[in-house]
Structure 1
Amino acid sequence: MAETNTDEVVVAFLKHYYSTFDTNRPGMAQLYRENSMMTFEGQKFKGLQNIVNMFNSLPLPVCHHDISTVDCQPYGPPGGMLAFVTGTLNVPGQEHPLKYSEIFNLIPIQDTFYVLNAILRSNKA
């Protein structure tokens, strides 16, 4: 049962993560730290400011993430999690949603997590 509770906590964090991305892009800064790294479509961004600058420069002013699946496992320091997410990104004006896959290395901090590592790829098939 402990795993189910952990899975629920990770899913809640990821829903918060995508909601923040969709509605409050500057708020993404609270989800990363200076030691974080993000790979976005093959481009690597290291450090909080570089990651925030990347998010703020994306040409997606309005969008909505729908999570399809989340798989997670304990990873890294005690309480850390590795999460693999698949879903769709709905952008107004686009006929079809974009499918994406994303991996997160989540590190516990107080009563939540921060993103140490993330890798995102759209599934262009």
Structure 2
Amino acid sequence: MADFSSIAQTFVDHYFTSFDDFDRRSSLASLYRPESTLTWESSALQGVQDIIGHLTKSELKVTRHTISTVDSQPGTANGVVVLVTGTLAVDNDFDKPMIFTQSFTLAPIPGQPGAFSVQNQIFRLISG
């Protein structure tokens, strides 16, 4: 298996850079499959359309993530498990960042060596 730490870091860099650029955010659809699931706070979503529809909601139009940690482990079937912590500022409230954690299970895409999709994803704000 390729270096799971490098895969995780490359994924995280791409994901959060794309997420914080609203004009590019819909391009994250290429990371999801019909069986992909996302739990955003307590809302469960499945499939590309539902997930991207949620991620591109107008109340999330202006965001800025600052990543503090990226931890990863090799997963089953050559997948990668990723846990990210950091802060998230929304709607230009950059002086009021919120702490978040987000996990991803990345699965290899059959027939596409080195390519991964998001199988599972969980996002949670951490309140103090």
In structure 2, the residue matched to 1:52 is 52
Q: Does 1:120 align with 2:119?
A: no
Give the total of aligned pairs: 122
| CA positional deviation for 1:112 | 2.8
Map of 1:36-115 to 2, 5 A cutoff?
A: 36-78=36-78, 80-91=79-90, 92-109=92-109, 110=112, 111-115=114-118
Determine if contact 2:37/2:120 at 8 Å carries over to the other structure. yes
| Cα separation, 2, equivalents of 1:107 and 1:58 | 29
**For the structure 1 residues 87 and 11, does the alpha-carbon distance in structure 2 shift closer, same or farther, using more than 3 Å as the test?**
same
TM-score (norm 1): 0.88
In structure 2, the residue matched to 1:15 is 13
| CA positional deviation for 1:95 | 2.8
TM-score (norm 2): 0.86
**For the structure 1 residues 56 and 119, does the alpha-carbon distance in structure 2 shift closer, same or farther, using more than 3 Å as the test?**
same
RMSD: 1.7
Q: Does the residue aligned with 1:77 lie in a helix, a strand or coil?
A: helix
Runs of 4+ aligned structure 1 residues displaced above 6 Å come to none
- Gaps of at least 5 residues in structure 1 are none
| CA positional deviation for 1:58 | 4.8
| Cα separation, 1, equivalents of 2:84 and 2:7 | 14
